[in-house]
């Protein structure tokens, strides 16, 4: 009997995956452990094995399709077998407008788009049952009429990304405008209030006419996957928080000396690969428990303070910014933090990070020191309420003996907090505590 290959569930938080590339063509012989396609979530990319040996009888969903998890994407069976029997005899659905299907034959040659197929879906009841709980919660908070959205989930169900897409098409609202939209007023298409937000005067407005073409050649690429997620999160972070940034620095002499000793140490000790960044992560993990309101998230008007430090670190990847989480960092040794940081960063770079390791952070560290950045304004990774930016180690003027001026190696630090829950003085004390811990990193390791 033919094997129905379904879109696998990649972690508990993933609702759908985009088919990036089919690595096998229709009619091609495949083995059960052979990768037949590459898929991408909003967080990482994954290879999908065939799951059964035989022939790839039919590709049901072409490249570019955003497929809900657990939906069929291909049929594998014996040559000549009726692939439609695996779908209960259902006819294939119309192809996606932007998709490109694989051709039949032994080689993965490209031909005209082939029809994709989707198994029959049970109809979803009208009203709230047609909207997922997460989508309903987000829609209620932002004043979106979720039941009237075009759902991309199974059976046309409206899921969270559909609400997010609707929000991306309108500007952020002032408090008064949001209250009016929640009460049933038409949502605006653009805003004329401060910061581009839409106020009461903009309700029901239509987008202005597009400017005339200049004749300049351009390439237009829709945002999707990780890039789209970053765009949505950064915009939501700036629109929904009161961000306040402080800049400072810490003496780096002991930090550099300790790093040099570790690098020259016996590899059997497991310390030779410890970096400056790892030492900073360790210092942060030990300081945060003394400032619980910074190891917290703000959601739906409630501050959630955490006992354990789930330390997130910003990682630059070819696909965009990713933020994996070192869980229980305050309980880990320096070697363990270093090993975890390297493992998570490598998985992000390779695109095979477990999606569950990209959520649940309580505080984030973003390190741009390797790029020579002396100071920057890190953006909150909402709903977290604080983030530490680590800058380059630079020579800076300092007071020496007898009133002289000397050059001292110092590492720059930039902290951004949500001023809704953290005032200026506590934020300044937190930054000073980080600086003191980093300056005396050797003593901290002995504590």
Would residue 419 show up in a list of annotated catalytic residues for this protein?
Answer: yes
The CATH 3.30.559.10 domain(s) of the chain lie at 242-446
Per-residue pLDDT in tens (0 to 9) along the chain, 447 residues: 789 999 988 777 677 888 888 999 999 999 999 999 988 876 677 889 999 999 999 999 988 788 888 899 999 999 888 888 888 744 444 444 333 333 333 333 333 333 444 444 444 444 444 788 778 888 887 878 788 888 877 677 788 888 888 887 778 877 777 777 777 777 777 777 655 677 777 776 665 555 555 678 888 877 776 677 778 888 888 988 999 999 999 999 999 999 999 999 999 998 999 999 999 999 999 999 999 999 999 998 999 999 999 999 999 988 788 899 999 999 999 999 999 999 999 999 888 888 889 989 999 999 999 999 999 999 999 999 999 999 999 999 988 888 899 999 999 999 999 999 999 999 999 999 999 999 999 999 998
Q: Which architecture characterizes domain 242-446 according to CATH?
A: 2-Layer Sandwich (3.30)
The CATH 2.40.50.100 domain(s) of the chain lie at 3-87
Say how many residues make up the chain. 447
Residue 206 is predicted with a pLDDT of 60
Task: Choose the catalytic residue: 82, 145, 423, 442.
Answer: 423
Task: Choose the catalytic residue: 316, 419, 436, 440.
Answer: 419
Burial 4-43 (b: 16+ CB within 10 A, else e): bbbbeebbebbbbbbbbebbbbbbbebeeebebbbbbbbb
Residue 90 is predicted with a pLDDT of 45
Residue 98 is predicted with a pLDDT of 38
Residue 213 is predicted with a pLDDT of 59
Check: CATH 2.40.50.100 for 3-87?
yes
């Amino acid at each position: 009997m033919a094997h129905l290959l379904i879109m696998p569930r990649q972690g508990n938080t993933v609702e759908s995956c985009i088919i990036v590339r089919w690595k096998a063509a229709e009619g091609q012989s495949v083995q059960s452990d052979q990768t037949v396609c590459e898929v991408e979530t909003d967080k990482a990319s994954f290879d999908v094995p065939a799951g059964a040996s035989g022939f790839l009888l039919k590709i049901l969903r072409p490249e570019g399709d955003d497929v809900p998890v657990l939906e069929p994407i291909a049929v594998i069976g014996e040559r000549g077998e009726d692939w439609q029997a695996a779908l209960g005899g259902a006819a294939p659905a119309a192809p996606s407008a932007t998709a490109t299907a694989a051709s039949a034959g032994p080689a993965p040659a490209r031909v005209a788009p082939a029809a994709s197929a989707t198994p029959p879906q049970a109809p979803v009841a009208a009203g709230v049952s047609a909207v997922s709980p997460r989508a309903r919660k987000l829609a209620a908070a932002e004043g979106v009429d979720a039941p009237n959205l075009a759902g991309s989930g199974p059976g046309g169900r409206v899921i969270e990304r559909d609400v997010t897409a609707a929000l991306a098409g309108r500007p952020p609202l002032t408090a008064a405008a949001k209250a009016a939209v929640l009460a049933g007023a038409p949502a605006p298409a653009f805003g004329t209030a401060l910061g581009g937000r839409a106020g009461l005067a903009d309700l029901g407005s239509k987008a202005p006419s597009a400017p005339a073409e200049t004749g300049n050649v351009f390439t237009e690429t829709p945002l999707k996957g990780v890039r789209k997620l970053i765009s949505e999160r950064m915009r939501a972070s700036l629109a929904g928080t009161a961000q306040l940034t402080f800049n400072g620095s810490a003496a780096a002499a002991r930090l550099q000396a300790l790093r040099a000793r570790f690098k020259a140490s016996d590899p059997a000790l497991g310390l030779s690969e410890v970096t400056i960044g790892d030492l900073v992560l360790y210092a942060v993990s030990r300081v945060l428990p003394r400032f619980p309101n910074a190891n917290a998230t703000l959601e739906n008007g409630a501050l959630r303070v955490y006992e354990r430090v789930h330390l997130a670190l910003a990682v630059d990847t070819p696909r965009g910014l990713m933020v994996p989480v070192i869980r229980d960092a305050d309980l880990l040794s320096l070697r363990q933090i270093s090993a975890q940081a390297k493992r998570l960063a490598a998985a992000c770079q390779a695109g095979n990070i477990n999606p569950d390791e990209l959520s649940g952070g309580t505080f984030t560290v973003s390190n741009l020191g390797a790029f020579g950045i002396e100071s920057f304004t890190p953006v909150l990774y909402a709903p977290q309420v604080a983030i530490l930016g680590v800058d380059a180690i630079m020579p800076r003027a300092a007071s020496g003996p007898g009133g002289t001026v000397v050059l001292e190696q110092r590492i720059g630090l930039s902290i951004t907090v949500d001023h809704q829950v953290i005032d200026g003085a506590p934020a300044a004390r937190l930054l000073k505590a980080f600086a003191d811990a980093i300056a005396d990193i050797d003593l901290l390791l002995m504590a």
